[in-house]
Structure 1
Amino acid sequence: MFPAFLDLASLKAAYAGGLTPLDLVEDVLARIAASSDPAIFITRTPADDLRAAARDLMARAPEPNSLPLWGVPFAVKDNIDVAGLPTTAACPAFAYRPEQDATVVARLKAAGALVIGKTNLDQFATGLNGTRSPHGAPRSVFDSAYVSGGSSSGSAISVASGLASFALGTDTAGSGRVPAAFNNLVGIKPTPGLVPNVGVVPACRSVDVVTVFAGTVGDGVAIRKVMDGYDAADPFSRKAKPAALPASKLRIGVLAGGEREFYSNAAYEALYDAAIARAKALGAEIVPFDYAPFRQAAELLYNGPWVAERLAAVKDFMASNADDFDPTVRTIISGASKYDAVDAFEGLYKLEALRQKTLAEWQKVDVLMLPTSPTTYTVEAMLADPIVKNGHFGRYTNFANLFGYAAIAIPAGFDADDHLPAGVTLFGPAFSDDALASFADAMHRALAAGMGKEKSAPLSEASKVAEAYDGLVSLVVVGAHLSGMPLNHELTGPGGRLLKACRTAPDYRLFVLPNTTPPKPGLIRAPGFTGPGLAVEVWKVTPEAFGRFVQNIPAPLGIGKITLDDGSQVSGFLCEPYAIEGAREVTEFGGWRQYIASEKSKG
């Protein structure tokens, strides 16, 4: 009926084939009933209410897939309000029943999505491991002895185990990323302020972010875009222009030797190194950077006055109900008592001093790529040392929201015996969320590790993230404009940059055009011809430079679409077929550079 993993493309195909949201509801209810992890949900949407929601959707939008998330099931972390379902933050004594949806939930419902339930979490979103809940500890979908990651534990498990297409989490210190890494998922952590927090129980209100767990980057970004948008009811909501990143030769900052720490987990370190190699193979420039100022900022979140902000969120409840807190959570939040207003300002001063130091590192790189978590632990080991081991998980996550960055966590593969997954996270400047997505998606696709527990599930082409537009135009060159050739200055002079060297599809032929100085090639496509594919380069140029090329190209040359060896089509120099009559064919050389070199060798 429905696929094991409920990604958006698979659902849309099922609906286009005649299945209905009511069919999906019955399927999801059966999956929940068969689930082996009883700690995923705190509250499930009653079955009849879920069926009624599906019928209501079909009444207001009867055409299949007529809304962006038509009939898509999702789960909600139980510190985010859903009208009619209790919000508990994993503390039964704190529970209340909201009359209105959180802004993000209301927007998702309007887009056609169906809430299947409220998920378990580290109490009051305090923790990165998923064991701090009176409702039990959700477990890794790959080994129930291991933690799920937190605090958005149940949300990640609901997606990874195939119960929901996506789930909402929250992220203060890494809670929307660590559970993604431990369950082979994508975690979308927006820039703080991009997605409104109205209707969310705060952890640290000034840095909290609502996040998305999904199977692919494309799905996660599509869902995040439904939630985006300024909300004046949220004092931290922000309006900003999206930030751009280079579309090629992305400079990726990676950990230098002195800042590497994997707590003896050699498998996770090897997976991080493999991710670096994968990024390089995708055309990125790898740049070691100094993580020290980022690490020092990360330490402020739990070892500085920001702990007092956690108390600010629940101070009245804690004053009357301290015994209702999980002991570890109570220990962390009660630590706020040692900070005063002077400490708060001094903490801010230290953070801004560290921000200045990070700016020097950002001069070297466009994005950062770090392990999402340097290691993982069993539930037993975590419970034996809950604060120290939880801190290990946050080594490479805690700084992100303090500095206001965008981040996307992606799978990094499995350890040597294909047992437990790890992840890496890409960080970009504030509001680079969309620009970050294309490279994150390419990294995930290059891994081919499936989605959630479905390791072999293919990533749909429909969810592929398009390359972010950087204001430049791609241009294929085949002859005198190649790197080091006589006319290359016409590209480099106006600021053009080389995107990649590659080959054409095999049905192209190359000729020497007579009476041209310097000698120029004539490239034509010959359907049915099978050759070596010709060496070409793809450059990025400004629209103005591209316009000059088009205006100044002499006959018989022109600009047309050239098919490359990867199947993509890019504008480039082509020749009118009449001009090759009597011209010398040089296709056998495999490219213009090779032909010119052979001529020079003749003396």
Structure 2
Amino acid sequence: MANTLGWTIGEWQRAYHTDSLNAADALQALRGALDPDDPAWIYILSSDELQQQIDELTTADEQPLYGIPFVLKDNIDAAGLPTTAACPTFAYTANKDATLVARLKAAGAILLAKTNLDQFATGLVGTRSPYGAVPNSFNPEYVSGGSSSGSAVAVARGLVPFSIGTDTAGSGRVPAGFNNIVGLKPTKGRFSINGVVPACKSLDCTSVFALTVEDAEAVAGIIEGFDPADGFSRKQPYPARLLPTQPRFGIPTDLPFFDDAEQEKAWRKTLNQLQQQGVELVPMDFSAMQTLAQLLYGGPWVAERHAAVGEFMHEHADKMNPVVRGIIDQAQNFSATDAYRAEYRRAELVRSIQQSMATVDALLVPTAPRLPTIAEVEADPVAVNSQLGTWTNFVNLADCSALALPAGMRDDGLPFGITLIGAAWQDTSLGEFGKRWQQSLKGTRGATGLALPTATTPDTPPQGHIRLAVVGAHLTGMPLNSQLTERQARLVETTHTSGDYRLFALPGTTPPKPGLVKAQDGKPIIVELWDMPIDQFGSFVALIPAPLGIGTLTLVDGRQVKGFICESLATTDAEDITEFGGWRAYINARRAS
């Protein structure tokens, strides 16, 4: 039997495609290895429950997640299984799958277990559960982070390649940072929350944990999409705008680390690494973000938590975690008038935050300012928890996307993590940079000690983009290049066409333009490849004058992309400049003469 510990989704898929792995054998063996006394689990599926899912698989060709195991935070419904939200008295048996669980199962993913959490998803520590505190995957004296503690630790240990959590105030990011894994916190409404026990329903997001950014994005592509059963679900209005090759990240000017010197040292080291890669770091005032963050637990949003579990709490307060109960009980301190006033204040702060964020490509923060021990949390559970939300609490209130990324190891052997924060619907742009950062870091997979897989350069443009070859006045530094950059297009590479094109200098064009024509006796011509958001492509094409147009070009390596072509008739009186090999060489030669 293959040792699947630490496998990525791609490694599971390759094993299935080569017939070296049998789904039933591998998954039943994996299930049998799960320790029922491990505090990461609240419910492990029985062998029969697991086999029922396996029997419903079709083929690896038909199902993109065929036979891929995952675990689920136990505030999310799976049909026929108990949902406890880490409160046994609250438990009920779900009569159907949450929307995202149904989408994962349809794609062939196999649920192994439901995971522990801070009760009612209220906490960032991973210790507020009657099922036990979930220890850090690197050192059991330290917290794992919450509330999605079990989901994060299961991935960090390499038991499953991905898991599902939730995120209201950072629950999908803090555990990622504490366990050396990726935490994808989507734009609110991108993933359905239908079938999720609410914490603050207007802010709640389901989230993805994975060993790699690629795996997190693969899962996101399965579970995303409008869900009419979720009143907060939204359709993405436009594709994400790619970050520049050398982006500008806004960082806080004032960073409290609460006496965690290792965390501060790791942050400084990370900033140096980013600068060496060409990232521009822009110190910014985060006071609006901090003020907004304080509204989450210091304002009437705690009443949303009461709206979710108030009736249960009225009847069973003694069955709740006392810290969680104390937080939710604060709801009685706020009136409906207070709620509206807070919402007005939130809107003002969000507008200020949006204006600040517009000056940079994304925000960059430590995922958490400190990594406390379990004993430190037990000694002061509310204050320490509040500290952990320093850079996470404002994000959902501000309608932002976020991606928590590993950033190497501290000198004491514990992991350090950073988080990129973007505007709404910038999820995939953060992921695209995250993949570059991950590759440069050359880190390990969670707590397994295994090296991250070597990434391959994708042959296709990012989601929501079209790859365009430009040959003349749109090249970098040429007069019409701004038509690309003002549409948030990004240069990918410089390459050549195949050897069957000829290039002509078209007469009477302003600014001067070439015409590229397919011909049997041609040669390779230099082109630049740019990725442009699809929603901007129509306005770009509208600017192209006859006899030019957009068609399909063949590149020297056989790839086909959209690019500039020219009507053959227009080259009758044009100068053949094919021998120059490209427009830039021709322009330089003409200037020299």
TM-score band, normalised by shorter chain: 0.7 to 0.9
Tell me the CA shift for residue 89 of structure 1.
Answer: 1.1
Closer/same/farther in 2, CA of residues 53 and 389 from structure 1, 3 Å limit: same
List aligned pairs for 1:378-397, cutoff 5 A. 378-397=373-392
User: 1:444: which partner in 2?
Assistant: 438
**More moved, 224-233 vs 212-221:** 224-233
User: 1:171: which partner in 2?
Assistant: 167
User: 1:48: which partner in 2?
Assistant: 48
1:465-516 per-position Cα deviation (integer Å, ceiling 9, x unaligned): 9653675655577x998766xxx224347758895698879xx9xxxx9xxx
Other structure's SS at 1:489 match: coil
User: 1:342: which partner in 2?
Assistant: 337
- The one-letter code matched in structure 1 to 2:444 is G
CA distance in 2, matches of 1:167, 1:96: 22
Closer/same/farther in 2, CA of residues 552 and 369 from structure 1, 3 Å limit: farther
Is the 1:498–1:537 Cα contact (8 Å) retained in structure 2? no
CA distance in 1, matches of 2:228, 2:553: 48
- The one-letter code matched in structure 2 to 1:3 is T
TM-score normalized with structure 1 length: 0.81
List aligned pairs for 1:404-483, cutoff 5 A. 404-417=399-412, 419-459=413-453, 461=455, 467-468=461-462, 473-475=467-469
CA distance in 2, matches of 1:465, 1:113: 26
Tell me the CA shift for residue 292 of structure 1.
Answer: 1.2
List aligned pairs for 1:84-99, cutoff 5 A. 84-99=80-95
User: 2:14: which partner in 1?
Assistant: 13
Tell me the CA shift for residue 393 of structure 1.
Answer: 0.9
Is the 1:9–1:462 Cα contact (8 Å) retained in structure 2? no
5+ residue gaps, structure 1: 521-534, 574-582
User: 1:27: which partner in 2?
Assistant: 29
CA distance in 1, matches of 2:220, 2:579: 56
Is the 2:439–2:454 Cα contact (8 Å) retained in structure 1? no
Give aligned-pair identity as a percent.
Answer: 40
List aligned pairs for 1:283-432, cutoff 5 A. 284-417=279-412, 419-432=413-426
Closer/same/farther in 2, CA of residues 481 and 44 from structure 1, 3 Å limit: closer
Tell me the CA shift for residue 116 of structure 1.
Answer: 0.9
Tell me the CA shift for residue 69 of structure 1.
Answer: 1.4
**More moved, 104-113 vs 282-291:** 282-291
User: 2:56: which partner in 1?
Assistant: 57
Closer/same/farther in 2, CA of residues 464 and 158 from structure 1, 3 Å limit: farther
CA distance in 1, matches of 2:465, 2:157: 40
Tell me the CA shift for residue 171 of structure 1.
Answer: 0.7
Partner residue of 2:151 out of 149, 155, 159: 155
Other structure's SS at 2:201 match: coil
- The one-letter code matched in structure 2 to 1:53 is Q
CA distance in 2, matches of 1:246, 1:118: 35
**More moved, 137-146 vs 92-101:** 92-101
1:140-163 per-position Cα deviation (integer Å, ceiling 9, x unaligned): 111111110000101111111122
Is the 1:437–1:465 Cα contact (8 Å) retained in structure 2? no
Is the 2:141–2:373 Cα contact (8 Å) retained in structure 1? yes
Other structure's SS at 2:217 match: helix
Other structure's SS at 1:109 match: helix
CA distance in 1, matches of 2:364, 2:470: 30
Partner residue of 1:228 out of 224, 231, 240: 224
User: 2:73: which partner in 1?
Assistant: 77
1:78-101 per-position Cα deviation (integer Å, ceiling 9, x unaligned): 111122221111111111112222
CA distance in 2, matches of 1:465, 1:267: 40
Tell me the CA shift for residue 40 of structure 1.
Answer: 0.7
Closer/same/farther in 2, CA of residues 22 and 335 from structure 1, 3 Å limit: same
Tell me the CA shift for residue 233 of structure 1.
Answer: 2.7
- The one-letter code matched in structure 1 to 2:182 is V
Tell me the CA shift for residue 569 of structure 1.
Answer: 10
Is the 2:66–2:107 Cα contact (8 Å) retained in structure 1? yes
Tell me the CA shift for residue 431 of structure 1.
Answer: 2.3
Is the 1:216–1:463 Cα contact (8 Å) retained in structure 2? no
1:381-407 per-position Cα deviation (integer Å, ceiling 9, x unaligned): 111111111111111011111122222
Tell me the CA shift for residue 108 of structure 1.
Answer: 1.3
CA distance in 1, matches of 2:163, 2:40: 12
- The one-letter code matched in structure 2 to 1:31 is A
List aligned pairs for 1:523-562, cutoff 5 A. none
CA distance in 1, matches of 2:579, 2:460: 40
Pairwise CA RMSD: 4.3
Tell me the CA shift for residue 430 of structure 1.
Answer: 1.8
Other structure's SS at 2:153 match: helix
1:15-44 per-position Cα deviation (integer Å, ceiling 9, x unaligned): 1122221122233124314x9x71010111
Closer/same/farther in 2, CA of residues 13 and 449 from structure 1, 3 Å limit: same
TM-score normalized with structure 2 length: 0.82
- The one-letter code matched in structure 2 to 1:254 is G
Other structure's SS at 2:421 match: strand
1:544-595 per-position Cα deviation (integer Å, ceiling 9, x unaligned): 8799999889xxxx9977779xx9999999xxxxxxxxx9999xxxx979x9
User: 1:267: which partner in 2?
Assistant: 262
- The one-letter code matched in structure 1 to 2:47 is A
5+ residue gaps, structure 2: 505-511, 515-525, 565-577
- The one-letter code matched in structure 2 to 1:184 is N
Is the 2:6–2:450 Cα contact (8 Å) retained in structure 1? no
CA distance in 2, matches of 1:540, 1:118: 40
Is the 1:125–1:152 Cα contact (8 Å) retained in structure 2? yes
- The one-letter code matched in structure 2 to 1:323 is D
Mapped pair 1:219 → 2:215: yes
How many residue pairs match? The answer is 569
- The one-letter code matched in structure 2 to 1:352 is A
1:438-473 per-position Cα deviation (integer Å, ceiling 9, x unaligned): 122222222121221134333354797965367565
CA distance in 1, matches of 2:488, 2:370: 39
